[in-house]
Amino acid sequence: MTAEKKKLLLAVTPGTYGPILEPSVEEEMAALCSLVRAPEDIGKMTPERYARLLAESGAEIVVTSWGSPKLTLAALRAAPSLKYMIHLAGTVKAYVEKEAIEAGLIVTNWGGAIARTVAEAALMMILCALRRVTAYQMELHVRKGWRSPHDNEVRSLFERSVGIHGLGTISKELIRLLKPFGVRIEAYSPHAPDSDFEELGIIRQRSLRDLYAGNDVISVHASKTSENHHIVNTEILAAMKDGAVIVNTARGAVIDTEALVAELKKGRIQAAMDVFEKEPLPPDHPLRGMENCLLLPHCGGPTPDRQVDMGRQGLRNLKRYIAGEPLDAVITPAKYDLIT
Amino acid sequence: MTAEKKKLLLAVTPGTYGPILEPSVEEEMAALCSLVRAPEDIGKMTPERYARLLAESGAEIVVTSWGSPKLTLAALRAAPSLKYMIHLAGTVKAYVEKEAIEAGLIVTNWGGAIARTVAEAALMMILCALRRVTAYQMELHVRKGWRSPHDNEVRSLFERSVGIHGLGTISKELIRLLKPFGVRIEAYSPHAPDSDFEELGIIRQRSLRDLYAGNDVISVHASKTSENHHIVNTEILAAMKDGAVIVNTARGAVIDTEALVAELKKGRIQAAMDVFEKEPLPPDHPLRGMENCLLLPHCGGPTPDRQVDMGRQGLRNLKRYIAGEPLDAVITPAKYDLIT
C-alpha cells in the first residue's frame, strides 16, 4: 500500500527558480510530493488572495522565500490541510504571523545553511579593518600614492583576542573560521546556554562593556530586538581599546550610528559595516569618506552563488518532514522575534 | 666545568631593536652568549668595514636583519671564528654572498615564522576579490552610491577550487587557513617532492596552464627566479575561467603586468596585488583606478605587530645551535636563489 503523496505549494516568486531553487531540487521535491507552482504574480498577492490560494490548493506544505506574501492566522484557519511552512530565507516576520505559529503551524527557515557565508564576510571584514584595506584603496586608486602614515598600524589577526556579540548560527560558523588564527575568543549572549560556550571552547563574558573593552576585535551578531536597539552606544564604543576593530554583519540598529561616527572621527578605532540603520545608506551619510570604515551594501550573505544552499536546506527539511524525523531550524514563537 | 660562552655580534640597525628584536629576546640571547651590539651606523658600513668588525669581534655567531651590510666570502675568510649567521628576515641575497655559504658558513632565515602573516594577506585578498571589495569602496565612499551592476557577481569561497602556484612555507600556511572553507586545492611546483602534496592532502598539478585554467581562485607564491620571470603571461591569463580570481603576494615580476592589465580591462577576471614589477607602483600605472584589482603597497607580511616573530625565530635557532640540535630554515646554496 503506497501512501498518497502530500500536497506542496511553491509560493515563491519567479526569481526564486534557479538561483535559490535549482531545477534538480524542484524535481526532487516533485518526486516526493504532489507539487504545484503558485501563479507568477504571487509576489503581488494580498494576504487575502494568498489565503484563498492556500485553501484551494489543499496543500499540507507551503514553500516560501523573499517576496512571498504574508501567511496570516486567518489564512491558516481557512486552510485546514496546511501544517508546514518551509521558509527558504531567514527572517520570517514579514512572511508569517506569530499567531499562526502559536496556533500550530510548523515553520522552519534557512537555519545554518547560509550562516557560513555571513561568517565569511565577517572574517574578511575583520582582516580588512586590521590591515586598513579601505584607506589603502583610497591611497593607491584615488590619490595615486603608495605608503601611508598608517603603515605601522597594519595588524595581523594571529594571536589576537576576539569578542563576539551574540551567539547564534553565524557566530558559530565564524568561530570555526577563526580557529586557524590562534585567537582567544570570548562571547556575550544573554540567551545562549553555558553548554554552547563549552562545546565551542570559548569564554563566556557576562558584561557587554567588558566584551568591548577587553578585545582587539569585536564582531557584532546580535539580534534585531527592541532591547538590542542602540545597545552599542557611546559608552560601549569609548570602552574599546586603541586600534581595536568593530565589524557589523548583523543589523544596523544594534549600533548607535551617530556614536560610531563620533568615535571613528577620533581615528582611534577601525570599523567595517555591511548593515546600516537606514538602507540604502543615504548619499550624504557621514560614514561615507571615513577611511577607517569599510563599507559594503548589505551583501554579507548569502552570496548569489550560494543561494542554492537555501533551496537545498528546504529539500533536506522536506525529506525529514515526510520521513517523520526531527526538523532543522524550527522557528518557535520564542525564536520568532530573535532571528535577524 | 662550564663551557665558555660563544661570542655573538648583533649586526642589526637601531630600528631592529624593539619591533623585531624585543628586549626580552635580546636579554635571553645575552644570557646564552657573550653578546655585543654593532655600532649604530652598521647600516651604512661598507662590506670591507663590516668584514673588519666581524674579524675584530671574534664572533662565532652574527645576527642580521633588514639593513645589515653584506657578508662577503672575503669577510668570512678574514674572520676564522665566524660559523653561523642568523638572518632574522627572508631573502638573504643582499646580506650574504652565496660563496660564503658554499665555503661553510651556516645561514638560517625566518623560515615559516612570518609565512602565516603573508598567507593571511593572501586569504584576505582572495575573499576581497571574490566579493568585489575595491569596487564597493569606490561605489560607497567615492561615488556615494549603494548597489552596483556587479552585485550578482559577488562570490563566496566555500566549495570553490583553489590553485596554488608554488609550494613553499607561505603556501603551506595558506592551505591551513583555507581548510575550513571546504575548497578543492591543487598546486603547481616543479621543486616540491610528492610527499609534500600527500602530507598536505592536495592535488599535484603538473601543468601550469591547467592550474590557471582549472581553478576558481589562483594564489601566486612562486619564487623570484629568472625562470619564473613573466611566467604568468598573456596565454596563461587568457586560460583563466570567467569570474576567476588571481592574487599575488609573492613577487611582481612573476606576472607580466602588461598582460594582466590587458586581461583585467576585459572585465572577465578579478585580481588583488600586493607586489609589483616596479615598487613603488608608478602614480600613472594603468592598474590604478581598475576597480577589479585590489591594490596594496607590498605590506602582506610580516605586519609590524608580528615582526617580533622574526626575533623569536632567531632566538629559537640560537638555542638549537648552542645545544647542537638541528637548525630550522637553513639556507643551502641550492635554496639561496629560490627564496623570495
> pLDDT at position B51, please?
97
Phi, psi at residue B240, to the nearest 5°?
Answer: -65, 150
Fold for B7-113+304-336, please state it. Answer: Rossmann fold (3.40.50)
Angstrom distance (rounded) from CA A88 to CA A111: 9
B152, B288, B301 member nearest A141 (Cβ)? B288
B113/B276 Cα distance (integer angstroms): 24
Mean pLDDT in residue range A235-260: 98
Confidence at residue A340, expressed as pLDDT on a 0 to 100 scale: 63
In chain B, which residues have their Cβ closer than 8 Å to the Cβ of A142?
142
Catalytic residue among B155, B165, B251, B312: B251
Q: Do B136 and A295 touch (CB under 8 A)?
A: yes
Q: What is the pTM of this model?
A: 0.91
* pLDDT-based confidence at residue B1 (cuts at 50, 70, 90): very low
Q: How far is B209 from chain A (nearest CA, A)?
A: 26
The residues near A198 (Cβ < 8 Å, ≥ 6 apart) are none
Q: Which residue of A has its CA nearest to B174?
A: A180
Which amino acid is it at B268? Answer: R
Q: In what order do the strands lie in the sheet with B293-295?
A: B203-204, B184-188, B161-165, B217-220, B245-248, B270-273, B293-295
Tell me if B297 and A137 make a contact (CB, 8 A cut-off).
no
Q: Which of B144, B158, B177 sits opposite A116 (nearest CB)?
A: B158
Which residues of chain A are in CATH 3.40.50.720 domains?
A: 7-113+304-336, 115-295
Which burial class, exposed, middle or buried, applies to A114 when counting CB atoms under 10 A from its CB (0-12, 13-18, 19+)? buried
CB contact under 8 A, B151 and A179: no
Q: In the predicted model, is pLDDT for residue B312 greater than 70?
A: yes
| Nearest beta carbon to residue B154 from set A137, A279, A299 | A299
Which pLDDT tens digit goes with each residue over B53-87?
Answer: 999 999 999 999 999 999 999 999 999 999 999 99
Smallest CA–CA distance from A121 into chain B, residue: B127
**B residues 113-132 lying closer than 8 A (beta carbon) to A:** 116-117, 120-121, 123-124, 127-128, 130-131
Q: Would you call B279 a catalytic residue per the annotation?
A: yes
CB pairs under 8 A between A and B: 156
Chain mean pLDDT for chain B: 96
Mean pLDDT of A219-244: 96
B124 contacts A128? CB cut-off 8 A: yes
Asked if residue B200 lies in contact with residue B142, where contact means CB atoms within 8 angstroms, the answer is: no
Quote the percentage of chain B above a pLDDT of 70: 99
* Secondary structure tally for chain B: helices H, strands E: 13, 12
Mean pLDDT of A233-252: 98
State how far residue A49 is from chain B, nearest Cα, in angstroms: 32
Ramachandran angles phi, psi of A21, nearest 5°: -110, 95
Residue with cell 531540487: A25
Q: Quick one: pLDDT at residue B224?
A: 84
CA distance A313 to chain B (A): 16
For the cut 80, the answer to whether the pLDDT of residue A251 exceeds it is yes
> Mean pLDDT lowest for which of A42-46, A309-313, B110-114, B317-321?
B110-114
Express as a percent the part of chain A with pLDDT over 70. 99
pLDDT band of residue B337 (cuts 50, 70, 90) is confident
Tens-digit pLDDT profile for residues A54-108:
999 999 999 999 999 999 999 999 999 999 999 999 989 999 999 999 999 999 9
Sheet (strand B34-37) strand order:
B34-37, B7-10, B61-64, B84-87, B106-108
Contact yes or no for B295 and A157 at CB 8 A: no
pLDDT on residue B174: 98
Instruction: Count CB atoms within 10 A of the CB of residue A46.
Output: 10
Q: How high is the pLDDT of residue B340?
A: 62
Query: B298 catalytic, yes or no?
Result: yes
Active-site residues of A, by number, are 251, 279, 298
**ipTM for the whole complex:** 0.91
Per-residue pLDDT at B338 exceeds 80: no
Interface of B with A in 300-319 (CB under 8 A): 301-306
Give the nearest chain B residue to A174 (CA atoms).
Answer: B180
Closest residue to B146, CB basis, from A121, A181, A281: A281
The three cell numbers of residue B239 are 586560460
Whether B327 contacts chain A with CB within 8 A = no
DSSP H/E element including B51? helix B47-57
Q: Please give the DSSP secondary-structure letter assigned to residue A188.
A: E
Q: Assess whether pLDDT exceeds 90 at residue A112.
A: no
Segment A46-57 mean pLDDT: 97
Catalytic residue of the set B159, B279, B288, B325 = B279
Going by pLDDT thresholds of 50, 70 and 90, the confidence category of residue A1 is: very low
B251 is a catalytic site residue? yes
The pLDDT of residue A225: 87
What residues of chain B, 151 to 180, have a C-beta less than 8 Å from chain A? 151-158, 176-177, 179-180
- Three-class secondary structure of residue A294 per DSSP: strand
CATH of A115-295, one of 3.40.50.720, 3.90.1300.10, 3.30.499.10, 3.10.105.10: 3.40.50.720
In tens, the pLDDT along B129-178 reads 999 999 999 999 999 999 988 899 999 999 999 999 999 999 999 999 99
